[in-house]
Amino acid sequence: MAHQFADLPYRRDDRRARPASEGQKQAPFRQHYARHYAALDLGTNNCRLLIARPQGDGFAVVDAFSRIVRLGEGLATSGRLSDAAIERTIGALRICSEKLKRRNVTLARSVATEACRRASNGASFIERAYQETGIHLDVISAEEEARLAVLGCHVLLEPGNAPALVFDIGGGSTELVLIDTATTVPTVIDWHSAPWGVVSLTESAGGGEGAAGLATAYERMRGLVRESFAPFAARLPNVHGPRRLLGTSGTVTTLASVHLGLDRYDRAQVDGLIAPSASMRAISQKLAHLSIGDRAKLPCIGRERADLVVAGCAILETILDLWPAERLGVADRGIREGILRRLMATAA
C-alpha cells in the first residue's frame, strides 16, 4: 500500500536547504522571538544535532553538532550497549543539551534508531540519558526512520517520472525506500529495512589480512547484504529509462569526497552532488582491498572511518546491483531534516 508524506511542500531546486532536529518539547512559543527548532538523531555510529529557524519554505541552520560515538560497538556479539559506548554517548548528549538550552529551542524531537531498538539494555540507557541530560530519546521504528530520511533528502533527486530509490546506510541497519515523485509530496511505493549497517556488518563479517583475506571478507559482507535485500529486490518493478538513485549516509558522503579528491570534507561540494555510479564502484573496490592503515591515510576517511568504510562500500555496491542506476545522488541530509520539516509544519 502506498502512503503520502503529509508534510511541507518542496521546491525541486531546493538543493541547499539546511537541517534541524526533533527531541523534547521545551518552553511555549514566544511570539517576539524567532522560533528555534531542533532535531537530534542518535544512530548506531553517530550522534547528530541540528538547530534551525524557519526561513521561507525551508529553514536556516542556527547551530549543529556531530560526533562519532559508536553506540552500537560490540552490540552484534553481546546484544547489549557497552558501558564505554554509553559513556561516550552520554558525553555527546550533554553537549547537545547545552546547545538546546543556549539556543532557547522552543520545540525539539530526539530520536534513536537501530542500536537502541536492538539492545537488551536500550530502555535503561534511554532512561539514564534523560536523567543525566534532560533529553528524551524516542526509539523510532525502522519504517519511521526510512520515511524521515526520505522526507529530509528527496528534494535532491534528479527530475523524472519513474519510481526512484532512496537509501540510508546507517551504523546498524540500511533502509531502502522506493518512491513516486509524480505527486507534490513523495508517495512511498515500497520500503525495506535490512539489519546490516557499517558497524553491524563490520563486526559480523569484516576483517581479513592480506589481499586474499580482504577480498574474502568483502565478498562475505556482500553476500550477507545481498541475502538480506533479496525480498525487496524481488518486489522491485521494471523501470524503463534512466533510474534515479539517492543515498544519504556517511558512506556515500565519504565516497563522494574521495571521488572529488577533497583534502577535507566540504558539505557545500558534497550535498547535492550527482556522481557516476561507476566511479563510486571503483572507489569501493579500491578501499575494500586496502589495509586499514592505508585507508586511514586517505583524506576524508582517516582513523575514525577506516575500519567501517569497507562495510559501507559492500552495502553500496549491493544496492547498485539491485538498482543499476548510472548516476548516484549524494545527500548530506536526512533524518534530522525530515524531523525539522515535520516540526515546522506542525507548528505553522
212 and 325, same domain (yes or no): yes
Quote the strand ranges of 122-255, DSSP E: 137-139, 164-169, 174-180, 187-194, 244-248
Dist CA 43 CA 49 (whole Å): 11
The residue with greater pLDDT, 348 or 304, is: 304
21, pLDDT greater than 50: no
pLDDT, position 288 = 96
12, pLDDT greater than 90: no
Task: Show Cβ contacts of residue 233 under 8 Å, excluding neighbours closer than 6 positions.
Answer: 322
Instruction: Kindly provide the b/e burial profile for residues 9-40, where b requires at least 16 CB atoms within 10 angstroms of the residue's own CB.
Output: ebeeeeeebbbbbbbbebeeeeeeeebbbbbb
pLDDT tens digits, 103-123: 999 899 999 999 999 999 999
5 falls within a domain: no
41 falls within a domain: yes
22, pLDDT greater than 60: no
What order do you get walking across the sheet with 37-42 strand by strand? 58-68, 46-55, 37-42, 107-112, 137-139
180 and 108, same domain (yes or no): no
28 and 124, same domain (yes or no): yes
- Is residue 301 within 8 A of residue 254, CB to CB? The reply is yes
290 and 309, same domain (yes or no): yes
pLDDT, position 4 = 38
19, pLDDT greater than 60: no
Which CATH number covers residue 197? Answer: 3.30.420.150
274, pLDDT greater than 60: yes
161 and 107, same domain (yes or no): no
334, pLDDT greater than 90: yes
87 and 191, same domain (yes or no): no
209 falls within a domain: yes
Mean pLDDT of 236-255: 94
Q: How many domains does the chain have?
A: 2
Which CATH number covers residue 88? Answer: 3.30.420.40
162 and 267, same domain (yes or no): yes
pLDDT tens digits, 120-149: 999 999 999 999 999 999 999 999 999 999
6 falls within a domain: no
212 and 318, same domain (yes or no): yes
How does the average pLDDT of the chain come out, rounded? 89
78 falls within a domain: yes
150 falls within a domain: no
Mean pLDDT of 193-220: 94
Dist CA 89 CA 263 (whole Å): 28
Range of the domain at 122: 15-143+336-347
128 and 188, same domain (yes or no): no
Grid coordinates representing 340 are: 525539522
225 falls within a domain: yes
123 and 165, same domain (yes or no): no
Q: Mind giving me the DSSP string for 7-67? A: S----TT-TT--------B-SPP-TTS---EEEEEE-SSEEEEEEEEEETTEEEEEEEEEE
99 and 190, same domain (yes or no): no
Task: Report yes or no on whether pTM surpasses 0.75.
Answer: yes
pLDDT, position 56 = 87
pLDDT, position 208 = 86
Pairing verdict, β 174-180 and 164-169:
antiparallel
27 falls within a domain: yes
Grid coordinates representing 124 are: 535503561
Mean pLDDT of 61-65: 96
pLDDT, position 151 = 93
86, pLDDT greater than 50: yes
Dist CA 262 CA 275 (whole Å): 14
Helix 83-102 with 122-133: angle, nearest 10 deg:
40
Lowest mean pLDDT among 21-25, 143-147, 173-177: 21-25
| 3-class secondary-structure state, position 178 | strand
pLDDT, position 348 = 67
Q: Mind giving me the DSSP string for 307-340? A: TTHHHHHHHHHHHHHHS--SEEEEES--HHHHHH
pLDDT, position 26 = 41
193 and 324, same domain (yes or no): yes
24, pLDDT greater than 60: no
